Every structure is written in C-alpha cells, then in structure tokens.
Structure 1
Amino acid sequence: MLAATAAALTALVVSAAGVAAVGHEDARQQPRAAEGPVWTGAWGAAVQRPVEGSEDWGANWSREGFADQSVRQVVRVATGGSTLRIRLSNAYGTTPLRITAATVGRSAGDAQVWPGTTRSLTFGGSQGTTIAAGQDLVSDAEALRTSPLEKLSVTLYFADRTGPATFHRFTTATSYRASGRRPADSGGDVFKESTNAWYFLSGVEVSGAASPRRGTVVAFGDSLIDGTGATPGADNRFTDKLAERLVAARRPLDVVNAGIGGNRILNDSPCYGDKATARFRRDVLERPGVRTVIVHLGANDIGAPAMGDPCMGSAPQVTARQIIDAHKELISAAHARGVRAVGATILPMKGALFPVYTERGEKVRTAVNRWMRTSGAYDAVLDVDRALADPAEPALPRPGYVFRDGLHPNEAGFHAIAAAVDLDAL
C-alpha cells in the first residue's frame, strides 16, 4: 500500500494576492476563433512505466503489451462539446508504437458501445499511426457531440506487437481486451478479458462549447487524487465529484485527474511513477486550456521510510524544507504559464493501518502544513489536515470519512473534499 492524504470539510481559502496575480486571461489559453478551436481536457490520466500486477493493485497487461488485439477503455468526460480528439502516449516505450486503428463511441455499459455512435479516428488523415518512443500524439478532431459526465468507449487495435505498454496502473474503471481487429464491434461480447488499468490513452479533449471562458482544472498528486478508496465503477473520486459540482453550477471548466497512487514529490519510483517535479510539465502544463492545478503531494515522501515497500525504490528520510522547496518549484512552473496553483495540506497520518506514521514524520508533516497555510506561496489552500482531523486528537483522522485502510478517503470523504472547493477559486 501507499501513503496519501484524505478528505476535507473546509473551503478553499483564497488569498487576495493570489487571485490578483493569476486571475487574468492570456492569449495562449484562450485563442481567438480565427486561430482555431479551443481545446480543453475533458478526461485524462497520468502515465507511468510498465509494472507487474499485484494483490493490492490487481493484474494488468503492461509488461506483456499487445499483439493482434483490441483494447477497449471506458472513460467519463467532465464536460461536453461538438468535436473531440484523443491523446496517446508512448512515453515509456523503447520502440515505436504502431496504432493500426482507433475508434470512439458512446458507452452502453461494460464493453458495449451504442450502435451507430462509433466514429473512426484518424491521425494526420490516416487510419493508423506510429508514435515514436518517448513521445505523445493527438488524433485528428472528430465530430461527435458529447454531453457533460457522459461515458465514452475508446478502442485501440494493435496489429503488431507493441512491447511493454505505457499505462496508468490503478483506476476505478474497467478496460477490456479482445483478440483480433474489433474497434467497430459494438456488442462487446468478444471483449472477454478485463483489468482496472488504462493503456496508452492519456487524454480525451473536446472543443465546441459555447462559453469563451472554458478551461481545464488539473488535479495533480498521489493516491488521494488517483482515487484509492473510491468504489470501483461508481465515479466517486474527488475529481469526479468536483466535475459534478462544476456541471451543476454551470461552470465551463473541465477536470483532469493526473494523480498516481504512491507518487512522491522528491523521488522516482519503479511502481509509483516519476517524481512530481519531473512529470509536472507533461501531466499538467502540456495539457490544453489549463487554468488551475490542484496539488496534493508530500505524504508518500514522509511515509516511505517506514513502509519498507520495495516498489518505492529509494526511500530516504526527507525534511520539511526539501518538500517545501519542491512545492515552490511546482508553483513557479505553474505561474510561468499563467496557471493558478492550489495547494492541499497533508492529512493526519497516524490512523493508517499500515506502517506510515512516525513521530519524526509527524513533525515534517506539521511543518509543511504550517508553511502552506501561512506563506502565501500557493494562490489558494485547501486545508485537508484541519478538515479531517479528529477534534479529540488532531494527529488522527475524523471518523467516518476514511477508507478501511484508515488513511484514504471513502465515498463520503471524497464528497467532502469536492464540496469544500470554492468554485470561484478555480
């Protein structure tokens, strides 16, 4: 298991200085109509290196990859539009990746697609494409009108052997696999195998909404963002609930989840992704239309030495100053691109039912949280710590908002975090 944070009941506290500093619109994020469509990220996932499945994380196909197989992946978009495109990643591939065919359609549940909704996707006008090792690629725009919170099925066919697959390890959704060329198969019966991971697919982007103020909010961080503790298939992660709030309030903002369970801000991991400072540009700043990033990181850096998890790789003890300096690096990178940065304090960690809490680590957590609250470095602060803490013993979480592991949010916890967000701060 991994260390991460949990729920919040408090509102975002927005500093006046922060709002003034990054409340502007710039030409990069809002191009004129003559410059082409305004794209935003309606769904997204942070990619990571191939790694074997496990009891905690489930089986996956990343190490073996695919050959003469079709992979169908179901995702829920935050907002709608009149056209869409997909983003594919071969970031951790060592050889070129050949996509033979790709389709998108409306999900009819499980591996089924609503008949008549399937659209073939093209790449530079061609049915297939090749993505160089270490590179990403977006498809051509395709006319398919989508609605807010709608589920789509994206199907990729690989005629040739892919080698190990760039993927996202943990999801609360299901992906499906079938032998042979099946992108246009709407019935779904041939997709007999499934896992809870996503492969090569890192984004679904939409355009064509009426509002000129459309933009993307990226939630960036560890398992709190990724959704550990959420009910599989129920779309009740923090980012899901935030997207629902934005739709209900008629706010033209998409939400992208760029969390990786176990991720750290200071150190890479063979299983839990590149360190946050290394992946921030790809997973946040290079997505289209980004207005705001919500950052939750630091708990795994603090807890790794106590966990003894070989999947962490190097697990040195860290200081508050090291974590703070890394947060400052993320803030500076966001501000340089005109992106507002929202920080989340680290939750009470003493209640975890796996080794993560130490007295030394508690001092580091307290110091980082104090800096977040008082420094003004972030444009807004979500005080997860104060919201979640048990009033009788602040080092422990408040009962009722945590998953059975004693650390991650449960459904009520994720709802509380989303309810705490001041939408005007985004």
Structure 2
Amino acid sequence: MITDSTPSWTAAFRSAVVSSHERIDLFELRAFSGQTLRQIIRLDGGGSALRIRLSNRYGKEPLHIGGARLARRTEGSGIESGSDVPLRVGGAEDFTVAVGEEVVSDAIEGAVAAGDELALSLWLPEDTGLSTYSAVPLRTGYAVPGNALSAPTFDGAEGLEELATRHFISGADVLAPAGTPVIVAFGDSWFEGTGTTPDTDHRFPDLLNDRLRAAGSEGWVVNQGLSANRLLTDEIGEHALARLERDALDVPGVTHVLVHFGLNDLGIPGQEAYPDPAPVPSAAELITGLTALADRLHAAGLTAIVTTVGPYKDTIFDGYSTPEGVAVAREVNDWIRGAESPYDAYADLAAAVADPADPDRIHDDYDSGDGLHVNDAGAQALADAVDLTTLKGRQLLNA
C-alpha cells in the first residue's frame, strides 16, 4: 500500500525507440516534411498532471517542431471537441530537439486515468530526416500535409497516410503518489506485442495491466519491449545490457522489471535479411547475460523477475530455428526454473503457451501464424501466467 501521497513524476506510458539508420531494414523507415503527425498514446496509469517525452536520439538533423497539441482521442484520428491544448517545452510552442537528445514537455495540469487515449499532434514544417521511431507500436498513427494541429479529424484529408510505426514519442509521465509501483516490461517482441491485433491493446503488458486493475493494484506496467532486440549483441536497437539503464533503470518510479530475452540471440534469421548473423550463443553465455541483468537490477534496488524463453521451433522464418538453438533455450529455461537463478521470481511464459505434445513449439491455439509470436489468446495466457504477488515488492517475496 502506498503510504506517501506526495505526488512525483511517474512513468505512465513508454515506447522504446530505435534508429532508422540500423544496418538491417526490417521495418518501414520514414522522414517527414511539411506534415502534421497525429499519434495515439494510451496511458497505463493516471495522475493529476501529464508531461510528454519526445526523442531525437537517433536523428542526424535537429528536429524542429513548429507546434504540438495534445487532445483526448475519440476514434480513429478524431479528437474530442474543446479538449486540445498546446504542448510546450520551456514555455515555447515552437521548439527544437537537438541531435541525440530527448526533451520533456512542460506539465499539462488536469487529471488523467489509466486507459485514457490521447492524441498527440506534431507540426513538422521542415525535413526531419529519418526518424527516431518505435517499430511495432500496434497503434495506427496518421500524417497529413500542412499544419493540421487542431483539425477535429484527419479522416478524408487529401494526402492522408496511415502509419504502422510511431515516431519521436518515447513516453509520458504523470504526477502520481510517491511510491506508486511501476513495473517495466523490458524485453523483445513478446513484450512489444508482435502477433497481436493492432489497435486493440491485446499485448501481454496491456493484459497484465487489466489483471492488476481488476485486483485493485495501485501500480501498473509500462512496455519497453523492442522487436528483434537481443540480450548480448546489437541487432535492432542496442542489446539489453546496453539499453538497460535508459529503458529500465531510469524510468521514473520503476520498482519491478520483467525480463524476456533470448529468442533473437538464438534465432538465425535468413541470409537475405541478416547478411552477417551472430553465432548462436551457448546456454552459459545467455545465463551470464541474464545474471548480469539481475545483478544490475538488484544494485538499483529493484525487484527482478525473469520469464522463460518462449517456444519457437516451428517458426516460418527461414533459418531462425535450429536444433542447436532450441536445445540452448531448453537449458536456459531449466536454469530459470531452478534454484540457481538470482532473480526474485520467474514467470513461465514458455509453459503457458507451449504445445503439451511438443513443448518446443507454440500451441496452435496461441500461435499468431508465424510460429514465433503469440496471438491475442496467447498474450492473455502469458498475462495469466504471472503471479501478481511477485509484483508487490521484494520484501514480500523474501518474507
């Protein structure tokens, strides 16, 4: 139970970002010029005020934002009449985000709640260059020519584009009572939500939040999943050990971290997409990396919860699954389930969605169709596999 009602800035939404200058082109790469972007944020938690984080971390040019507005979203690209307000940085409505930097907006007063859907509109008068972006947000965004910051909807606008990627937005914070538990889902596509239905909030972290709210929890989960991300080596985004500080330890209010990594270290993607794949790591190497993650989380005073590596034997992706890699995943999962793991707890995601007749593959009822990612029902099974008592603090686990 929260005992200190003093409000403090607390993460209420996160969207892990990557560079458009990655050497492997798995996702749509975009630049914008003379356009307005309208992108949707669904809050995982609420508070008495809100601020937005905008990122030009991987940009090669300064990001000039000629204006920004925040409004309550109705449906599609529509916004609630009279709800839009200017988003300012340092008091200015026209501002620039320097190369490699992130800015935090001025506070917008007014209560917001978990589940609120907000539309953030950005007027981009100049060429942005390739954007800092989130690859699989599973939330449709919109772009139209010209300055359309306060347009009630973009529907039917000439030149309207629908976007499967999210650009320049890395998070939102709320003023919430100090000590509000925040769980960071720090992992790969199994957390980001690949395979679940877009625009429905059926990702594993979303459904875990539903369980927490139904149980009366004061805390919530924010999603820092990154599709194609690895534990040990860079591929899409910096590897987990390199991005841990930014995407987990520095998240305002973080108390717990859920970890899922290993699939993309073990997978050997086809030569066309990955011209120079890293070798399959040994179980010892993955265990060393997971142990290093746990040690750093504990050094920061956080509860560390690891999840088993998901089954993937029958994936359709050429060359991704090998007998060698599947055997390593089994060995790592045995370690996660055993007494030698340094984590405070584990969630057996692999067992939750595995085919009982062949535990190395995803059960047909939970398979998104690619043999690597779960569908909506699978994401619900993952959320149901988490023991909610493990999200209440290390003192409870060690009692």
**Alignment TM-score, normalising by the size of structure 2:** 0.90
CA separation of 1:256/1:407 partners in 2, compared to 1, >3 Å: closer, same or farther? Answer: same
For the 8 Å contact 1:229–1:409, the answer to whether it is kept is yes
CA distance in 2, matches of 1:423, 1:407: 26
Kindly provide the CA deviation profile for residues 100-150 of structure 1, in whole angstroms up to 9, marking residues without a partner as x.
211111111111110111111111111132222111111111013222212
Aligned to 1:349: 312
Kindly provide the CA deviation profile for residues 285-342 of structure 1, in whole angstroms up to 9, marking residues without a partner as x.
12110111111000111112x5335347542221112111111222122122212111
2:20 is paired with a residue whose SS is coil
Aligned counterparts, 1:354-393, within 5 A: 354=317, 355-374=319-338, 375-393=340-358
Aligned to 2:186: 220
Please point out which of 247, 255, 260 is paired with 1:283: 247
Instruction: Give the partner amino acid of 2:168.
Output: F
Aligned to 2:396: none
Instruction: Give the partner amino acid of 2:303.
Output: R
CA distance in 1, matches of 2:275, 2:165: 19
Higher relative contact order (CA 8 A, sep 6+): 1
CA separation of 1:372/1:45 partners in 2, compared to 1, >3 Å: closer, same or farther? Answer: same
Task: Quote the offset at 1:181 in angstroms.
Answer: 1.8
Aligned counterparts, 1:1-20, within 5 A: none
For the 8 Å contact 1:267–1:314, the answer to whether it is kept is no
CA distance in 1, matches of 2:342, 2:276: 30
Aligned to 1:259: 225
Task: Quote the offset at 1:187 in angstroms.
Answer: 2.7
Please point out which of 202, 205, 212 is paired with 2:173: 205
Q: CA RMSD in A?
A: 2.3
**Alignment TM-score, normalising by the size of structure 1:** 0.85
For the 8 Å contact 1:48–1:167, the answer to whether it is kept is yes
Say whether residues 1:235 and 2:198 are aligned partners.
no
Instruction: Give the partner amino acid of 1:292.
Output: H
1:281 is paired with a residue whose SS is helix
CA distance in 1, matches of 2:4, 2:250: 16
Instruction: Give the partner amino acid of 1:38.
Output: S
Instruction: Give the partner amino acid of 1:48.
Output: V
CA distance in 2, matches of 1:338, 1:218: 14
CA separation of 1:314/1:357 partners in 2, compared to 1, >3 Å: closer, same or farther? Answer: closer
Kindly provide the CA deviation profile for residues 342-376 of structure 1, in whole angstroms up to 9, marking residues without a partner as x.
11111222122223222211221122112212223
2:83 is paired with a residue whose SS is coil
For the 8 Å contact 1:90–1:136, the answer to whether it is kept is yes
CA distance in 2, matches of 1:181, 1:414: 39
Q: % of aligned pairs identical? A: 37
CA distance in 2, matches of 1:55, 1:360: 26
Task: Quote the offset at 1:411 in angstroms.
Answer: 0.8
CA distance in 1, matches of 2:32, 2:361: 45
Structure 1 regions of 5+ residues with no counterpart? 1-23
Please point out which of 410, 414, 424 is paired with 2:379: 414
Say whether residues 1:96 and 2:62 are aligned partners.
yes
Moved more, 384-393 or 332-341: 384-393
Moved more, 383-392 or 143-152: 383-392
Task: Quote the offset at 1:159 in angstroms.
Answer: 2.1
Aligned to 2:397: none
For the 8 Å contact 1:88–1:201, the answer to whether it is kept is yes
1:300 is paired with a residue whose SS is helix
Structure 2 regions of 5+ residues with no counterpart? 392-399
Instruction: Give the partner amino acid of 1:332.
Output: D
Aligned to 1:333: 296
1:38 is paired with a residue whose SS is strand
CA separation of 1:55/1:159 partners in 2, compared to 1, >3 Å: closer, same or farther? Answer: closer
Aligned counterparts, 1:107-186, within 5 A: 107-186=73-152
- Report how many residues are paired: 386
Instruction: Give the partner amino acid of 2:302.
Output: V
For the 8 Å contact 1:148–1:247, the answer to whether it is kept is no
1:267 is paired with a residue whose SS is coil
CA separation of 1:73/1:312 partners in 2, compared to 1, >3 Å: closer, same or farther? Answer: farther
CA distance in 2, matches of 1:171, 1:379: 29
Task: Quote the offset at 1:405 in angstroms.
Answer: 1.0
Aligned to 1:15: none
1:330 is paired with a residue whose SS is helix
Aligned to 1:324: 287
CA distance in 2, matches of 1:294, 1:40: 18
Instruction: Give the partner amino acid of 1:315.
Output: A
CA distance in 1, matches of 2:178, 2:11: 15
CA distance in 2, matches of 1:139, 1:312: 41
Instruction: Give the partner amino acid of 2:75.
Output: G
Aligned to 1:294: 258
CA distance in 2, matches of 1:81, 1:290: 16
Aligned to 1:18: none
Kindly provide the CA deviation profile for residues 380-416 of structure 1, in whole angstroms up to 9, marking residues without a partner as x.
1111223333222322333311111122111111011
Task: Quote the offset at 1:243 in angstroms.
Answer: 1.5
Say whether residues 1:87 and 2:57 are aligned partners.
no
Aligned to 2:394: none
For the 8 Å contact 1:60–1:195, the answer to whether it is kept is no
